Structure 1
Amino acid sequence: MTPVVLVTGPRLSGVDGVVAALRQRLPAAVVTADRTELGRRAPDAVLAVVSAAAPMTRSDWASVEVVVGRTELVIGVVSKVDAHRRWREVMAANRASLASWDARYRSTPWVGVAAAPGLGAVLVDDLVELLVERLGRTSLPANATRRATVRPDPAEVRRVLQRRRLRLLRVVRDRSAAWRADARATAAELGSGAVADFEAMVATAALEFHTWVLEEVDREITAAAIEVGAAAPQPGVPTAGPPDTSRTATSSRRLEGRLAAVLGVGFGLGVALASSRLLAGMLPGWSAGGWAAGTAAGLALVVWVVRARGLLHERAALDRWVVEVAATLRWHGEATVAERLLAAESRWAAQARAAPRNGVSADRRLTRNGVTDQYEWC
């Protein structure tokens, strides 16, 4: 008997796109969003489609419960994953909310799809494979899922990943350079006693840079998977932690402090003598007051010279440290890009070797244009 799949969901959730994609991928099944087309027959599977823009609400699921009926196979589908970077978090929230609303759906599987992407290929492989597995392969012809087992072309995979790698390296270098310029400008205007706050700011920026690199790489790998028709990357890929940006202890400044003190005393003594003589000449009867005022001015100048020299030294040390941190962040970002893209290529190569070769054309050879395209900056 021909399996029947009913697709339902709230308005603007992407139901029509899922129906169109599944009809193309599963021509042996009846895929519809109109329950009246089924007559009295209950659907074999119900796909509850919700958007990845925001977590599902109770009213959204209420519209699904109306059509579920006695159907045993219910699959949650998060659509528009190509347009929303945090769709995995939305899917996890939907799974938790559904389990809290109704314990019967605690084990409901959830899948992310891009049925009608604005850019790139359609991404419904995981949903097709799950439907085939749950409905049973006996009810679907062997060629019904021919596109779900397409072997990624290794040459195409290398070309696409090379372009993604060049783009990622460029944005990593641009961001690290922009951060370095901003941090150096901040260090140049740093006031006395603000060193600890500046070091904390640098540590926070390093953690944010690490998180940003991971998100950018995952987004590019997902886009590459859509482009080459490979399986989407699985979340939770192990990766190294954020780079160490701790500041090393500076060497002793005893000699430099003595030199600054000597210079300050020299300037202060000169100012004190000049001020006292000037006041004594202008006010002959106030010679003692002139000496006192000159001495106070000299001491103030000594303190200012010593503190200013220390502040300038601290700013120079922080400037050098910022340059080192920026270089570390750039190296860390480039290493993360290389490691994760290499892992994706290895995973897709293993999938290509494991996929059946029947009906699949041989891998095309690299042409001159293909080799040139590997080094194209976009």
Structure 2
Amino acid sequence: MIDADHVVAQIDPDLPPPSILRRDVVLVAGPWLAGTSGVAAALRHRLPGHTVLEAPDLAAGEAPAAVVFVVSATAPMTESDCALLDVVAADTDAVIAVVAKIDVYRTWRDVLDADRALLAQRAPRYGAVIWVGAAAAPDIGAPVVDDLVAALTATLACDSLERRNRLRAWENRLVGGHRRLDRDVEGAGREARLTVLRDERAEQLRRLRLDKSQRSIAVRSQIQQARVQLSSFARTRCAAARTALQEDVATISRREFGGFAERVRRRAAQVSDEVQEAAARHLADVGEELGLPVGAAAESAPVVEVGTAPRWSRSAETRLMVLLGAGFGLGVALTLGRLFADLAPQWALAGGIGGAAVGLAVTLWVVGLRGLLHDRAVLDRWVVDVVTGLRTAMEEWVATRVLAAEASLGRAVAERDAVEHAGMDESVTRIDREIREHGMQRARASAVRDRQVPVIERALRAVRAELDR
């Protein structure tokens, strides 16, 4: 054992020795249903001077003096069987392979040859493994374990057994150290974690850009809809007001002319209030839908100044209508006079006087009616002009109000983008810091590996050279 440790100490005395406890026992191990219990019982019976254990009886950190690995003659070894052998014989050089149940399976020699070739291909150390056939608990006859007992006895009696086992433990220790250094460079799941971090970083940046773009599109869309809908609402209310006022003009009497301007003024104020309420309500809904504050109107909608109803001069038209009405009345008077003269000559004088009175009344009625219609037409045109001015003022106010709301929403969007950018910058900084930490850990692990691996490889070559001797 001192010689084995000295082989490694000559290369680097600081290399830690194998942390195992060597026990002077024989370990019988193998896959499930391979017959390990029967082989262990047979060896205990045939070798009472040696301690024979199965895998559950050996504590962690303990290594046996020899390993008897039992496989079934049913079929060649599988990958899991080979992996089990690697584990149980990791720190022990003395390994004897047993093909059990040879009393049942006549093709056990073919299975043995296949297993020997498989293990020799798996690792060079398994090329020198002793292979025997055995029937530890046959259905008929005595157990067939003589070859196994002889091989195990010779192995345990070998003078170099302890040194070889120590060298094999050193080899396992050095190979494990090499693998651990490689794992430290790669990290346990480091690449997977780096992939997750990079994907998370890209996803957060993509989501930030997408949210910003969607928010801008939503604001522009809602503002355009508000501009169209509120402008349409203002035009509709102005059109309704014009229609109602024109209907009033069509039935207005001469006594109502004096109060008509006040009626128009009230109607214009009502339209202005309705447009303001509709704008405030609609823009509030837009802000609530977007989750952004919409500033209040800086000023209320203007009210169109409505003066007194116009009274256009109609002297020429009045003279014309008097002339036409007089002619019409004269015609009526003459017609009535002739009618009385023909039907009742005795009433001719009274009929003429009556006809003249009726003609005068008709003349006055025609002139008055034509004057009323003229005044109504003047009021109608005046109403159209007033409502047209009101509509222009309302459309301008709606455009100004929507523009102010757009500016307010733009500021709110900018503030929210700034907050999200700050949060995103913090998250991305955290991710970048973790990525750099993984890179630094890999660099440090690579430096340690580059410094220690050459020493480990030299020690490993020396240990294997001693094993090959």
Alignment TM-score, normalising by the size of structure 2 = 0.42
Alpha-carbon distance in 2 for matches of 1:248, 1:327: 16
Residue matched to 1:267: 328
Superimposed CA distance per residue, residues 96-154 of structure 1 (whole angstroms, 9 cap, x where no aligned partner): xxxxxxxxxxxxxxxxxxxxxxxxxxxxxxxxxxxxxxxxxxxxxxxxxxxxxx99944
Residue matched to 1:23: none
Residue matched to 1:233: 295
What is the identity percentage for the equivalent residue pairs of Structure 1 and Structure 2?
34
Letter in 1 for 2:363: V
5+ residue gaps, structure 2:
1-210, 424-469
Q: 1:173 aligns with which of 206, 210, 235?
A: 235
Alpha-carbon distance in 1 for matches of 2:341, 2:309: 52
Alignment of 1:50-89 (within 5 A): none
Letter in 2 for 1:224: V
Root-mean-square deviation (Å)? 2.5
- Whether the 8 Å contact between 1:213 and 1:336 is mirrored in structure 2 is no
> Cα 1:230–1:194, aligned 2, differ >3 Å: closer, same or farther?
same
Alignment of 1:331-350 (within 5 A): 331-350=392-411
Alignment of 1:94-109 (within 5 A): none
Residue 354 of structure 1: how far off its partner (Å) = 4.8
Residue 291 of structure 1: how far off its partner (Å) = 1.5
Residue matched to 2:385: 324
Letter in 1 for 2:315: R
Residue matched to 1:44: none
Residue matched to 1:219: 281
- Whether the 8 Å contact between 2:292 and 2:409 is mirrored in structure 1 is yes
Residue 334 of structure 1: how far off its partner (Å) = 1.2
Residue 232 of structure 1: how far off its partner (Å) = 4.2
- Whether the 8 Å contact between 2:332 and 2:359 is mirrored in structure 1 is yes
Alpha-carbon distance in 1 for matches of 2:411, 2:287: 14
Residue matched to 2:260: 198
Determine if the alignment matches structure 1 residue 258 to structure 2 residue 319.
Answer: yes
Residue 178 of structure 1: how far off its partner (Å) = 2.2
- Whether the 8 Å contact between 1:172 and 1:334 is mirrored in structure 2 is yes
Residue 186 of structure 1: how far off its partner (Å) = 2.3
- Whether the 8 Å contact between 1:233 and 1:344 is mirrored in structure 2 is yes
Alpha-carbon distance in 1 for matches of 2:241, 2:356: 46
Residue matched to 1:185: 247
> Cα 1:302–1:330, aligned 2, differ >3 Å: closer, same or farther?
same
Determine if the alignment matches structure 1 residue 291 to structure 2 residue 366.
Answer: no
5+ residue gaps, structure 1:
1-149, 363-378
Report the 3-state secondary structure (helix = DSSP H, G, I; strand = E; otherwise coil) of the residue aligned with 2:418. coil
Residue 182 of structure 1: how far off its partner (Å) = 2.4
Alpha-carbon distance in 2 for matches of 1:223, 1:260: 59
- Whether the 8 Å contact between 1:222 and 1:233 is mirrored in structure 2 is no
Determine if the alignment matches structure 1 residue 282 to structure 2 residue 347.
Answer: no
Report the 3-state secondary structure (helix = DSSP H, G, I; strand = E; otherwise coil) of the residue aligned with 1:359. helix
Residue 301 of structure 1: how far off its partner (Å) = 0.6
Residue matched to 1:375: none
Alignment of 1:308-323 (within 5 A): 308-323=369-384
Alpha-carbon distance in 2 for matches of 1:296, 1:167: 62
- Whether the 8 Å contact between 2:328 and 2:359 is mirrored in structure 1 is yes
Alpha-carbon distance in 2 for matches of 1:341, 1:290: 75
Residue matched to 2:222: 160
Residue 360 of structure 1: how far off its partner (Å) = 3.9
Residue 228 of structure 1: how far off its partner (Å) = 1.6
- Whether the 8 Å contact between 1:165 and 1:338 is mirrored in structure 2 is yes
Letter in 2 for 1:285: Q
Superimposed CA distance per residue, residues 180-224 of structure 1 (whole angstroms, 9 cap, x where no aligned partner): 222222212222322223322111100000111111111111111
Superimposed CA distance per residue, residues 219-266 of structure 1 (whole angstroms, 9 cap, x where no aligned partner): 1111111112112434x6323431123356343211111111111111
Residue matched to 2:304: 243
Alignment of 1:296-311 (within 5 A): 296-311=357-372
Letter in 1 for 2:302: G
Residue 339 of structure 1: how far off its partner (Å) = 0.8
Letter in 1 for 2:247: A
> Cα 1:270–1:220, aligned 2, differ >3 Å: closer, same or farther?
same
Letter in 2 for 1:192: R
> Cα 1:301–1:358, aligned 2, differ >3 Å: closer, same or farther?
closer
Aligned residue pairs: how many? Answer: 212
Letter in 2 for 1:220: H
> Cα 1:339–1:219, aligned 2, differ >3 Å: closer, same or farther?
same
Letter in 2 for 1:221: L
Alpha-carbon distance in 2 for matches of 1:302, 1:319: 26
> As a proportion of its length, which structure holds more helix?
2
Alpha-carbon distance in 2 for matches of 1:361, 1:266: 92
Residue 355 of structure 1: how far off its partner (Å) = 5.3
Report the 3-state secondary structure (helix = DSSP H, G, I; strand = E; otherwise coil) of the residue aligned with 2:259. helix
Alpha-carbon distance in 2 for matches of 1:361, 1:323: 56
Residue 331 of structure 1: how far off its partner (Å) = 1.4
- Which is higher, the Rg of structure 1 or of structure 2? 2
Residue matched to 2:148: none
Letter in 2 for 1:288: L
> Cα 1:284–1:344, aligned 2, differ >3 Å: closer, same or farther?
same
Letter in 2 for 1:218: A
- Whether the 8 Å contact between 2:302 and 2:393 is mirrored in structure 1 is no
Letter in 2 for 1:277: R
Superimposed CA distance per residue, residues 72-110 of structure 1 (whole angstroms, 9 cap, x where no aligned partner): xxxxxxxxxxxxxxxxxxxxxxxxxxxxxxxxxxxxxxx
